Chain A
């Protein structure tokens, strides 16, 4: 394999591994904040303990998130030096601000973890989690701005490889920024809440039925449902954004070749070698609605673009998978809330717990495929319209060896995270902790 392919795989591998921890890093502080707040407001020790235990597990994921984030930060310059030379000139402001947000999070997480029970008024301790929430969400925002810029570069003029007329704010707030940032944040909150819900449901399924678990599941699923709806709404806006600014990405996702009105949405199916769609469900006019909010609107097809600028067509499967998981998460969390309100006798049924557990890993899968869709969907560009991915890659050799070494590192880190987290929570169950703190079961 050539350096280009190896570099793409290595970048993809690092980011693919990092975003699992990054997503948890953005979403879990919100859950900790909510839980501690409820605990203080209702004077309920269960919620406080919940916040404490989540925070303890969070530290371990943060550590891996920080180190893999450092790796990807360096790899950008190591593997894509020519790209960073350009991007560095136009987009270094959000990159720079991202490190400040990261600083804020790092400082206050340290303080938060070591000041439980140190203040007379518990609310003071709660206030310390706010900079953590702000820092993690802001760093996601800034880094997503950089990625948005790669999709719709703006705020500079490039002539013969020379960049002039830089407008840093215009580059930051490019057309892709609003939908991308909103989608990244909302899906991170959704995923984190659902992962925590899945863990709780697992305990309930195994027969632990303390009030503590039930409160945890209610809280996580309310948050999941809210952000599932929000993510779907933002997803719709993202479709409209793509139709206006990156029509080739939307067309590739939907195997939409001919420009036409009343375009149909393709669900599932597969594509033959001569680009015939087989076994798909075709929803009439749905793509026109997704793209322009109007069933009669015209949607640009892939044939309008030269074939060497087409994204790979397999992105359709990724897009479908992401959307289907999104629907699944909405339905499952919605069902739980429906039972809570109208059929409480069904709320804790084993089959429902099993469905919730399944939603945990699925939500991570959705993050991964959604991200791969977004990234592969802008190929062959690294900077859409300005620089092809092949032009940004390093001229150094040895990328193959590094790929193996880093893959090994991620396997080790991933395995150890799971091992350490299970060990941490198995040895010290909520029941033991409640008893230790003198709370009657």
Chain B
């Protein structure tokens, strides 16, 4: 595999990881606030807090890892994306800042403070929406080049139906992924009341999610013909994704095998995400930047790969330890520890 393909694959895997873990986290934050608002917090917040507390800090690292790695492997992205993303990325970081710190404020200092929980819950849905605009920008058509300078056409971005359909898809996906995971987690904790609330949210949110994904593909065809044409070659991944989705819905509906159901949800998004990513190649930013432009120097690339492997040998056992102590520790999940 060539260095550029290896680099983008590694980064895409990390972005996928962020999407799953981040979604669980963002959704959980939202449900946590929602539960409080609807006075249902006694039902679901125990499960949510037990899951969230030990892992909230880890989520953010996946995102940092992605953008540092992107600049590392593809230094030119710093120039292009750095210049055009000033406003969208700043908004996303401000939301992330509010969310991250308000969680700590609410849970380690001022428990049950409505304002903190509100900011935490609402930003949880705005962040995926704002981050997803980067995907839209990468389709091209929103950047104007004037001599030496490039700039983002904000009004074109905000008035494009593609932007809004992607944002909607992001929000509904977050709700779906998160509730599917949490119903599995609640099931493990034998907290049937919480499981039922979350299972229903999962089933209900799957409908708008599927609708918005079709709407998104419809607008992609209209706004970004080059990408849509390339999607054909990967249609099979989306079909497999659909199959995984239907299996997950079936299991959730029948209240069976919640673990497998969540695995199916992960597969569904893996197929869609990697199909989408692969069909976008070789462009990182259409039509300005491909993975072959400004790829990092070969020596540095090799070092990055070595550093990456060394990092993973440290990271994977640590993550496994974290999961064994909390996520998959029956006593902890049930609240006995």
Contact = CB atoms under 8 A, between A and B. Distances in A.
Nearest to B80: A81
B100 A88 contact: no
Interface in A85-142: 85-86, 88-90, 92-93, 95-100, 102-104, 106-111, 113-115, 118, 131
Contact of A70 (B81, B96, B294, B299): B96
Nearest to B306: A93
Contacts of A56: 108
Nearest to A64: B101
Interface in B286-337: 294, 296-297, 299-300, 303-304, 307-308, 310-311, 314-315, 318-319, 321-322, 325-326, 337
B68 A73 contact: yes
A275 interface: no
Contact of A85 (B68, B294, B300): B294
B315 A104 contact: yes
Contact of A60 (B76, B104, B325): B104
Residue from B76, B297, B325 with most neighbouring chain A CB atoms (10 Å): B297
Contacts of B72: 88, 92-93, 95-96
Interface in A140-181: 163-164, 166-169
B97 A70 contact: yes
A60 B83 contact: no
Contact of A73 (B64, B104, B105, B307): B64
Contact of B325 (A99, A115, A398): A115
A399 interface: yes
A66 B59 CA distance: 11
Interface in A385-441: 394-399, 402, 405-406, 409, 413, 416-417, 420-421, 423-424
B97 A85 contact: no
A89 B151 CA distance: 23
Contact of A110 (B58, B300, B304): B58
Contacts of A95: 68, 71-72
B58 A70 contact: no
Contact of B58 (A71, A106, A402): A106
A135 to B, nearest CB: 10
A92 B64 contact: no
A131 B322 CA distance: 13
A413 B104 CA distance: 12
A75 B75 CA distance: 15
Given A78-B82, A88-B296, A93-B307, A99 B64 contact: yes
Contacts of B307: 93, 96-97, 100
A125 B276 CA distance: 44
A84 interface: yes
A62 interface: yes
B94 A63 contact: no
Given A63-B103, A66-B57, A97 B109 contact: no
A109 B57 CA distance: 9
Nearest to A7: B86
A77 B53 contact: no
B318 A131 contact: yes
Contacts of A78: 82, 85-86, 89-90
A62 B71 contact: no
Given A73-B64, A89-B300, A395-B150, A107 B319 contact: yes
The bracket for how many chain B residues form the interface is 35 or more
A82 interface: yes
Nearest to B302: A168
Contacts of A104: 314-315, 318
Interface in A315-359: none
A182 B45 CA distance: 45
Nearest to A420: B109
Central interface residue in A60, A78, A86, A423, by most chain B CB within 10 Å: A78
Contacts of A118: 337
B49 to A, nearest CB: 11
A88 B304 CA distance: 11
Given A104-B315, A107-B58, A93 B97 contact: no
A68 B60 CA distance: 12
A77 B104 CA distance: 27
Interface of B: 53-58, 60-61, 63-65, 67-69, 71-73, 75-76, 78-87, 89-90, 93-94, 96-101, 103-105, 108-110, 148-152, 294, 296-297, 299-300, 303-304, 307-308, 310-311, 314-315, 318-319, 321-322, 325-326, 337
Given A102-B61, A103-B315, A108-B318, 9 more contacts: A70-B64, A70-B97, A75-B93, A77-B81, A93-B307, A104-B315, A395-B151, A405-B90, A424-B108
Interface of A: 56, 59-60, 62-64, 66-71, 73-75, 77-82, 84-86, 88-90, 92-93, 95-100, 102-104, 106-111, 113-115, 118, 131, 163-164, 166-169, 394-399, 402, 405-406, 409, 413, 416-417, 420-421, 423-424
25 contacts: A62-B57, A63-B105, A63-B108, A67-B101, A70-B93, A78-B86, A78-B90, A80-B82, A81-B80, A85-B75, A85-B76, A89-B297, A92-B73, A93-B307, A99-B68, A100-B307, A100-B314, A106-B57, A110-B53, A111-B322, A166-B300, A395-B149, A406-B90, A409-B94, A416-B105
